[in-house]
Amino acid sequence: MTISAAIVGGTGYTGVELLRLLAGHPQVSLEVITSRAQAGQPVSAVYPNLRGHVDLAFSPPDPAVLAGCDVVFFATPNGTAMEMAPALVEQGVRVIDLGADFRIRDLGVWSHWYGMDHACPALAAEAVYGLPEYGREAIRQARLVANPGCYPTAVQLGFLPLLEGGLVATDTLIADAKSGASGAGRVPKPHTLLCEAGENFHAYGASGHRHLPEIRQGLERAAAQPVGLTFVPHLVPMIRGIHATLYGRLRDPAVDLQAVYEQRFADEPFVDVLPPGSHPETRSVRGSNMVRIAVHRPEGGDMALVLAVEDNLVKGAAGQAVQNMNLMLGLPETLGLQGISVLP
Amino acid sequence: MTISAAIVGGTGYTGVELLRLLAGHPQVSLEVITSRAQAGQPVSAVYPNLRGHVDLAFSPPDPAVLAGCDVVFFATPNGTAMEMAPALVEQGVRVIDLGADFRIRDLGVWSHWYGMDHACPALAAEAVYGLPEYGREAIRQARLVANPGCYPTAVQLGFLPLLEGGLVATDTLIADAKSGASGAGRVPKPHTLLCEAGENFHAYGASGHRHLPEIRQGLERAAAQPVGLTFVPHLVPMIRGIHATLYGRLRDPAVDLQAVYEQRFADEPFVDVLPPGSHPETRSVRGSNMVRIAVHRPEGGDMALVLAVEDNLVKGAAGQAVQNMNLMLGLPETLGLQGISVLP
Amino acid sequence: MTISAAIVGGTGYTGVELLRLLAGHPQVSLEVITSRAQAGQPVSAVYPNLRGHVDLAFSPPDPAVLAGCDVVFFATPNGTAMEMAPALVEQGVRVIDLGADFRIRDLGVWSHWYGMDHACPALAAEAVYGLPEYGREAIRQARLVANPGCYPTAVQLGFLPLLEGGLVATDTLIADAKSGASGAGRVPKPHTLLCEAGENFHAYGASGHRHLPEIRQGLERAAAQPVGLTFVPHLVPMIRGIHATLYGRLRDPAVDLQAVYEQRFADEPFVDVLPPGSHPETRSVRGSNMVRIAVHRPEGGDMALVLAVEDNLVKGAAGQAVQNMNLMLGLPETLGLQGISVLP
Amino acid sequence: MTISAAIVGGTGYTGVELLRLLAGHPQVSLEVITSRAQAGQPVSAVYPNLRGHVDLAFSPPDPAVLAGCDVVFFATPNGTAMEMAPALVEQGVRVIDLGADFRIRDLGVWSHWYGMDHACPALAAEAVYGLPEYGREAIRQARLVANPGCYPTAVQLGFLPLLEGGLVATDTLIADAKSGASGAGRVPKPHTLLCEAGENFHAYGASGHRHLPEIRQGLERAAAQPVGLTFVPHLVPMIRGIHATLYGRLRDPAVDLQAVYEQRFADEPFVDVLPPGSHPETRSVRGSNMVRIAVHRPEGGDMALVLAVEDNLVKGAAGQAVQNMNLMLGLPETLGLQGISVLP
């Protein structure tokens, strides 16, 4: 079986990462990649790593062509997918949105953070949140998957075992998160220039970041109750990688955290619980769909400390999208996602 | 008045930074810099930035020469200063130890973390902890100053106003700290190679770091009660800079944090409280003795969030040592410490 | 004596570097810094390293204010200074243009490379090329100085002794030059994003770069004959620094290159000829106005190899501009330019 | 068919890269990886990117085990392979040495540069230099392949078409080469610390580098005459990648360089000649076995300029070794070597 796939909006970093993964996927045929701005230009002229691997040129989006594909990925700015997805879903195309249009169930909250009205509330209600480790079956049945954000993936996976098990107080969760600059995208902005982001470290969005409501929604679903969360993102002078440092106060310090995490993720192909005492490194998952997690109880006290790393462009975006595609189309979940991180 | 100064153990990063600052200090004459390993070699051969500024060669430590100086800085591995300092102090030399030998008052705790017995308990009891923003007068009178560690400087300065004012619960303080690689020193180790630390981010010492007891001692002094602290350091792929992200639960969320911080540090020449909503950048203090701090109350809740940055080799080491020297010798506190950070 | 100075166009990297140097210059009072785009904004809000050092806000350019200054620096895009400089020069203001408007004597060549007609040919003919090591006296007398480009400074200083002495064949000179990303400026462009320029190395402009005619003009002046030059710039994943690797075929391999260079630059305060066998590092001049040079004759053959490093924003731009200002106004040439590089 | 393979000395960067490539090779079973120092430790504890992909632990070298393999790779310090290889070759094992023991035909030259006598001159005479683009057939027949050095691979491939065609003067070739820090290996040395190599650029070995005789030997073989070569390596603040900037004076400036290169490499699976006007980026080949080359004739003169990039650990080491293994064992040459570079 060969799956025909399309990427809408492929010139950003999640777009090129999707290209890399789909080009190496044994059962996918990439039919089209759209970009109005770069229409006509060969993909490999923009991304020379794809020379010899991807022969497509960017083309303007054509609804008829997209409707002929088995699956369409949206790697577009927020607000685009919600305009184009309904017609595709109607015509039986599976849709995976790597943007934020379908991630938040409460559309009032969504409008508050994204500054626009939602174009298709009904479809938003139907959309399935694409975090396989939390709701794999629903994804298998989904017509439309909302691919999680990069921070939300790492933070949710790190907190899940604590919240599902009711192991921590839910009112003072802290997620101190750090991301490489590729999370800010490829559109040139002053703060992501090498001369501004290099040899520098700082927090941002401390008073409110768009990923906060998405994370909170997921944590509350897992905890089955409201949670109080402080989320502080930081910019790291590197290209790829997210490190989430998570803090929660244990209800019972006697709990065997290591066992809880190993058991929770025992069957997960893309979550690796490290041995006790470990400190996961972002480079160990660079270019891979893996999340690596270590748990600590500093000084044997009642604070649970969770360290989780992912590649923000893979498990935090394009890789998870391919994982969701595999699920939606009945393929083995890990197909095309088993490349080894390049290290050093 | 010209101060004659000596540096013992000058080949590491704190040593060269002391050299840079003392070479530019208008009232210091640097007499000697010792290194057994590099004895005879010109300083500028090891540190080419000092060509034309420092004409000294490294020499083996000579007690008589050191005893003839007004002030001696120890930039040595832990355990060295406590052997050599007593004789110098006896002879009236002011001593500033940039290592950890005199930082911890409880010598049992010190021995536990540093793995040796203390060589001069009496002098340890007399030593003054050199954080001018907390105890300037004692430093002025001191014969021996224990210069604070890099993380402890940033974390203590960030928490001080909250603890002195009794504004936060003291049982669940969290310090999520990030440091550039120069904090690990110049002795080659695998994990600080460019190929290991570059394009990478990870925590370390999550189950216990030597700076933890030093920080806790300072916080407890400020709070006048025991504190519960979780301290998690991380390694950032950059050379200089520490960013401390501090969390404390407010007793009264109505407190005006901005005003508390501005007032507390109003007269401090090396603490800069940024305007509301700011996110301090480590590069803004690179090469400078300044600490910049911003305070937030995320979503208007009861969590106080403090962001503090410093240059780990300046305010976190050599710059603070010069600040302490200025105080001990009756010079203007900011003398030789007013260079502007190079940016970008 | 206090010099009143103005900067026109101060929001780029050469602008902020001028600010840093002028703020630390003991005889300069910075009166005004202009920017239409950022008018009204405090300088320290854009450049937090200047908090506490520079209290000015950006203001729109006002000819009357500029005319009241002793010296005006242009750190503007090419084409601006040639419009504004004539009136200022008329009124007795010393003008230093850090752009390219007055660097090329042949205005036909200038128009070819910069794509516009020159606005004031007469003043262009009068302008003095501001490379003190080549023509110090003319700079002292100049009303208008054309501050050299970053690559041209390093390449010319490296080749000068060879060409002045007629020591190399002039038809096959090669300048393989490498620059940090700050040379590309602060206006966001895709190729200088951390995610594009980081962990990457490439040449650019191999078929022709704007600095080529400027370099050739200088080399031909020194050689007093036409020269054949191949100039290939490369982008290095770092912020500051230029490394020029220069190749020339010796007419007489028996020449003592080391002695030639040491003698040529013996009295130059900002050119440091390293000992035989050295390899200068860009970081050794970061933030400083120094150029460091080493000469080699690989395998004792007839190829002269010159290695020259500078900070592109200091000796390659703002520092050299201050050096020129000092000369023009009769101040000691090194005033305000003796800060030590921060290393590591 | 499954090939059983062993790696001797697997803890360095070429060793881990071999591991990554062999773990993903569809017809290789990695039997053993030796390290005396790390014997007993799981490979994935040292290289966490291999968790879940490589289950081996390091073991001490055991001649009997090695002799039972189809192919043995030496990723050892110079001088080791020449001691162990003869016995293996005797027993019919194909041997590929990633070190320098068998690269230089003139053992007097070899001893001069590597500071020891050669242990097996006869085998050295038989060894085949493993640059497939120059002598593929001989590699197919070889019992022992000397895998080329990293710089030599890029420089030879870049110069080959010019020298084979007699297109340039052979007495003044220049190779200005730049390498990321992984070329210096994983053994901690001061100059490859992040704090020393980061934000820094410099040449090294200008008076003589071990790769010079290897490059010259290859160029002379291609030119069928002696060549005069100036080779200057530089250290780039990045992890992976080599950029060779090559200069040669054209005998006939009218030659169509682009056509020459395209024709020469038309059938080469791992050499990609870029379109006219291109500047290859090292990141475009990161983690891949590809070499990308662009040719220029600056200002239409008689200087040929060749820009060539490779990943020093792949085509410059482990990838080329796997390519050689494929040839020696009759497998498709590109098997296991078609991963796409991760970009950004």
- pLDDT tens for B59-103 read 999 999 999 999 999 999 999 999 999 999 999 999 999 999 999
Cβ <8 Å between C202 and D280: yes
Amino acid identity of D5? A
Task: Tell me, rounded to whole angstroms, the distance of Cα A2 from its chain centroid.
Answer: 25
Cβ <8 Å between C49 and B24: no
Determine contact, residues D156/D242, Cβ cutoff 8 Å.
no
Give pLDDT, residue D252: 95
Cβ <8 Å between D198 and B198: yes
Q: How near does any CA of chain D get to the CA of C169, in Å?
A: 12
The continuous run of DSSP H or E covering D129 comes out as: strand D128-129
pLDDT digits (tens, 9 = 90+) for C53-98: 999 999 999 999 999 999 999 999 999 999 999 999 999 999 999 9
Q: How near does any CA of chain A get to the CA of B208, in Å?
A: 7
Cβ <8 Å between A51 and D272: yes
What residues contact residue D238 under an 8 Å CB cut-off, 6+ apart?
B198, C198, C199, C200, C201, C237, D180, D181, D282
Tokens read off for C31: 């009166």
Cβ <8 Å between A190 and C195: no
Domains observed in chain D: 3-126 (3.40.50.720), 151-312 (3.30.360.10)
Cβ <8 Å between D193 and B186: yes
Alpha carbons A143 and D185: distance in angstroms, whole number: 50
Among the partner residues D23, D48, D283, nearest to A284 by beta-carbon distance: D48
- State which residue of chain C sits closest to A194, comparing Cα positions: C194
How many angstroms separate the Cα of D101 from the Cα of each of A107, D96, D154, D156, D185?
68, 11, 20, 19, 17
Give pLDDT, residue B190: 87
Cβ <8 Å between D203 and C245: yes
Helix, strand or coil, per DSSP, at residue B232 = strand
Alpha carbons B49 and B29: distance in angstroms, whole number: 19
Give pLDDT, residue D10: 83
- State which residue of chain A sits closest to B203, comparing Cα positions: A279
- State which residue of chain C sits closest to D281, comparing Cα positions: C202
Tokens read off for D154: 């890029």
Q: CB pairs below 8 Å between A and B: how many?
A: 145
C150 CB neighbour count, 10 Å cutoff: 26
Among the partner residues D200, D240, D277, nearest to C207 by beta-carbon distance: D277
pLDDT digits (tens, 9 = 90+) for A151-177: 999 999 999 999 999 999 999 999 999
Q: What are the φ and ψ backbone dihedral angles of A241, each rounded to 5 degrees?
A: 120, 140
Q: CB pairs below 8 Å between B and C: how many?
A: 84
Indicate the pLDDT class of residue B216, thresholds 50, 70 and 90: very high
Closest-CA residue to D34 (of D59, D71, D11):
D59
Q: How near does any CA of chain A get to the CA of D222, in Å?
A: 28
Q: Return the sign of the alpha-carbon dihedral for residues D103, D107, D113, D118.
A: positive
Active-site position among B69, B120, B150, B195: B150
Task: Tell me, rounded to whole angstroms, the distance of Cα D50 from its chain centroid.
Answer: 23
Contacts B182 to A, Cβ<8 Å: none
Alpha helices, H only, chain D: 13-23, 43-46, 63-67, 81-90, 107-114, 121-126, 132-141, 150-164, 194-197, 211-223, 257-264, 319-328
Tokens read off for C2: 């206090």
Cβ <8 Å between B342 and C286: yes
Task: Tell me, rounded to whole angstroms, the distance of Cα B91 from its chain centroid.
Answer: 26
- The answer to whether the peptide bond before residue B77 is cis (omega within 30 degrees of 0) is no
Q: How near does any CA of chain D get to the CA of A15, in Å?
A: 11
What residues contact residue B120 under an 8 Å CB cut-off, 6+ apart?
B82, B85, B86
Contacts A189 to C, Cβ<8 Å: 188
Indicate the pLDDT class of residue D318, thresholds 50, 70 and 90: very high
Cβ <8 Å between A238 and B283: no
The 3-class secondary structure across C99-155, one letter per residue, is CCCCCCCCHHHHHHHHCCCCCCHHHHHHCEECCHHHHHHHHHHCCEEECCCHHHHHH
Contacts D279 to C, Cβ<8 Å: 202-204, 206
Which residue ranges in chain A fall short of pLDDT 50? none
Cβ <8 Å between D340 and A16: no
Alpha carbons D127 and D214: distance in angstroms, whole number: 14
Chain A: touching chains (3 or more CB pairs < 8 Å): B, C, D
Alpha carbons A309 and A197: distance in angstroms, whole number: 20
Give pLDDT, residue D148: 98
The 3-class secondary structure across A203-264, one letter per residue, is ECCCCCCCHHHHHHHHHHHHHCCCCCEEEEEEECCCCCCEEEEEEEEECCCCCCHHHHHHHH
How many angstroms separate the Cα of D282 from the Cα of each of A198, C198, D156, D273?
19, 11, 17, 14
Contacts C341 to B, Cβ<8 Å: 49
Among the partner residues C49, C198, C272, nearest to B343 by beta-carbon distance: C49
Cβ <8 Å between A201 and B281: yes
Determine contact, residues C247/D230, Cβ cutoff 8 Å.
yes
| Known active-site residue C150 | yes
Among the partner residues B190, B196, B239, nearest to D198 by beta-carbon distance: B239
User: Over its length of 344 residues, how does chain C's per-residue pLDDT go in tens digits?
Assistant: 899 999 999 889 999 999 999 999 999 999 999 999 999 999 999 899 999 999 999 999 999 999 999 999 999 999 999 999 999 999 999 999 999 999 999 999 999 999 999 999 999 999 999 999 999 999 999 999 999 999 999 999 999 999 999 999 999 999 999 999 999 999 988 899 999 999 999 999 998 889 999 999 999 999 999 999 999 999 999 999 999 999 999 999 999 999 999 999 999 999 999 999 999 999 999 999 999 999 999 999 999 999 999 999 999 999 999 999 999 999 999 999 999 999 99
ipTM score here? 0.97
pLDDT digits (tens, 9 = 90+) for D205-232: 998 889 999 999 999 999 999 999 999 9
For residue A199, is it left (φ>0), alpha (ψ between -120 and 50) or beta? left
How many angstroms separate the Cα of C161 from the Cα of each of B165, B186, D200?
66, 37, 26
Cβ <8 Å between B49 and C340: yes
Alpha carbons A211 and A99: distance in angstroms, whole number: 12
Alpha carbons B28 and C200: distance in angstroms, whole number: 44
Q: How near does any CA of chain A get to the CA of B170, in Å?
A: 14
Q: How near does any CA of chain A get to the CA of B283, in Å?
A: 5
What residues contact residue A122 under an 8 Å CB cut-off, 6+ apart?
none
Determine contact, residues D76/D8, Cβ cutoff 8 Å.
yes
- State which residue of chain B sits closest to A248, comparing Cα positions: B172
Tokens read off for B299: 């979503």
Using an 8 Å CB-CB cutoff, list residues of chain A that contact chain D: 13, 16, 20, 23-24, 47-53, 182, 186, 198-199, 239-240, 272, 274, 280-281, 283-288, 290, 292, 339-344
Alpha carbons A131 and A316: distance in angstroms, whole number: 10
Cβ <8 Å between D193 and B188: yes
Q: CB pairs below 8 Å between C and D: how many?
A: 145
pLDDT digits (tens, 9 = 90+) for C224-259: 999 999 999 999 999 999 999 999 999 999 999 999
pLDDT digits (tens, 9 = 90+) for D25-77: 999 999 999 999 999 999 999 899 999 999 999 999 999 999 999 999 999 99
Using an 8 Å CB-CB cutoff, list residues of chain B that contact chain C: 13, 16, 20, 23-24, 47-53, 182, 186, 198-199, 239-240, 272, 274, 280-281, 283-288, 290, 292, 339-344
Alpha carbons C329 and C327: distance in angstroms, whole number: 5
